[in-house]
Amino acid sequence: MKYTKLPSTDIKISEICLGTMTWGNQNTEGEGHQQMDFALDRGVNFIDTAELYPVPATAETQGLTSKYIGSWLKKNKTRDQVIIASKIAGPGDYTAHIRTTGFSPHSIKEALDLELKRLQTDYIDLYQLHWPERQTNTFGVRDFKPNPNDRWVDNFNEVLHTLHTFVEAGKIRAVGISNEKAWGTMRFAEEVRNHNFTPISTTQNAYSMLNRVFEGDMAEVSMRENIGLLAYSPLAFGVLTGKYIEGTAADNARLNLFPRFARYSSEQSSEATKQYLLLAKDLGMSLTTLALAFVNQRPFVTSNIIGATNLEQLKENIDSINIQLSKETLDRINAIHASIPNPAP
């Protein structure tokens, strides 16, 4: 395994992060525990969850993922061996079953305390805002369109002050954002500089060979402001395994179970995937390995969040950290990207 540190901290993390959002829906508690055992045995020490999980989110399953991690921690008594990241859910109809008060000081306190209880721990290593409160283009929305009904009032200072108090109290070690845009990220950085708050360490955004939108503005912000990318959906909901193109996806594969998750299923995405699949075959490796190795090598990526529903998938995903793509291979990837740029937003 390869390791780095969360930016602006001394927290050592693996460059592969174990994603958990299927636990409690597609995976049982026992399977989640098996994945944690397997990942830690192979050097992964970084685990990402959220109060929202599992996904799809429902009132009945909300919080199960973190409870599974908590029961594993209690059983194994290895809290000091793992770095745990979690997230407070953003506002909206999708999360109305959790709360409707956004990132108010009370909401952050409530969310944090409930998550600590689910995880059966006294602290969370990286605590993130799952998505912005303001209305902006997130989760597959390509372009920003001003909304005259957006009643959000700038509260970056208040949110950072609240999070800073929990860092000082020892309940959080580092602070992160997620699904954020360049403007929001710079506003956070501005408030940190002006008020000496806990720095923003990371942003957790979608990034893959089908979605390189991060490179437009956010990559520069990331590298100049020392805010690392935690790349999620590096396999684009499994599309970049090639299994949907080749018709080998199992009945319980994510897009077979939940076809409404069509973010990476456009005609252009399918065509790009076919070209990446041909490239992978020409290189003698799986498309999964090619796609993950590409993300692993990006200079702005702090850790690559991989997810799996079985141990075979998990092994292949973790092993991608050992693959170094040549300049020639990267050039061929970029040529496909240039012909079909960002088919999935």
Which residues touch 153 (CB under 8 Å, ≥6 apart)? none
For residue 13, being part of any structural domain is answered with: yes
Can you tell me the mean pLDDT for 157-174? 98
For residue 75, being part of any structural domain is answered with: yes
Dmax over CA atoms of the chain, in Å, equals: 55
Can you tell me the mean pLDDT for 146-153? 90
For residue 171, being part of any structural domain is answered with: yes
For residue 262, being part of any structural domain is answered with: no
What pLDDT was estimated at residue 303? 98
What pLDDT was estimated at residue 252? 77
Residue 3 annotated among the catalytic residues of the structure: no
For residue 168, being part of any structural domain is answered with: yes
- Whether the CB-CB separation of 45 and 56 falls below 8 Å is answered with no
What pLDDT was estimated at residue 225? 98
For residue 284, being part of any structural domain is answered with: no
List the beta bridge partners of residue 301: 229
Token digits for 73? Answer: 């921690």
Give me the residue label for tokens 């949110």.
Answer: 159
What pLDDT was estimated at residue 253? 82
What pLDDT was estimated at residue 223? 97
What is the DSSP code (8-state) at residue 9? S
Check pLDDT > 90 for residue 269: yes
Catalytic residue (one of 53, 68, 127, 244): 53
Instruction: Convert the pLDDT of each residue in 66-87 to its tens digit.
Output: 999 999 999 998 899 999 999 9
- Whether the CB-CB separation of 206 and 175 falls below 8 Å is answered with no
Instruction: Convert the pLDDT of each residue in 186-239 to its tens digit.
Output: 999 999 999 999 999 999 999 999 999 999 999 999 999 999 999 999 999 999
What pLDDT was estimated at residue 239? 96
CATH number assigned to the domain comprising residue 135: 3.20.20.100
- Whether the CB-CB separation of 8 and 201 falls below 8 Å is answered with yes
Token digits for 103? Answer: 């990132």
Name the percent of the chain lying above pLDDT 90: 92
Can you tell me the mean pLDDT for 165-176? 98
What is the DSSP code (8-state) at residue 310? S
Instruction: Convert the pLDDT of each residue in 241-268 to its tens digit.
Output: 999 988 888 877 888 888 878 889 899 9
Our CA dihedral for 11, 73, 88, 310, rounded to 10 degrees, sits at 100
For residue 261, being part of any structural domain is answered with: no
For residue 86, being part of any structural domain is answered with: yes
> How many separate domains does the chain show?
1
Instruction: Convert the pLDDT of each residue in 296-321 to its tens digit.
Output: 999 999 999 999 999 999 999 999 99
Nearest CA among 122, 130, 123 for reference residue 172: 123
Question: For the chain, what is the mean pLDDT?
Answer: 96
More confident residue, 256 or 280: 280
Domain that holds residue 161: 3-236+299-321
Instruction: Convert the pLDDT of each residue in 95-124 to its tens digit.
Output: 999 999 999 999 999 999 999 999 999 999
Name the percent of the chain lying above pLDDT 70: 100
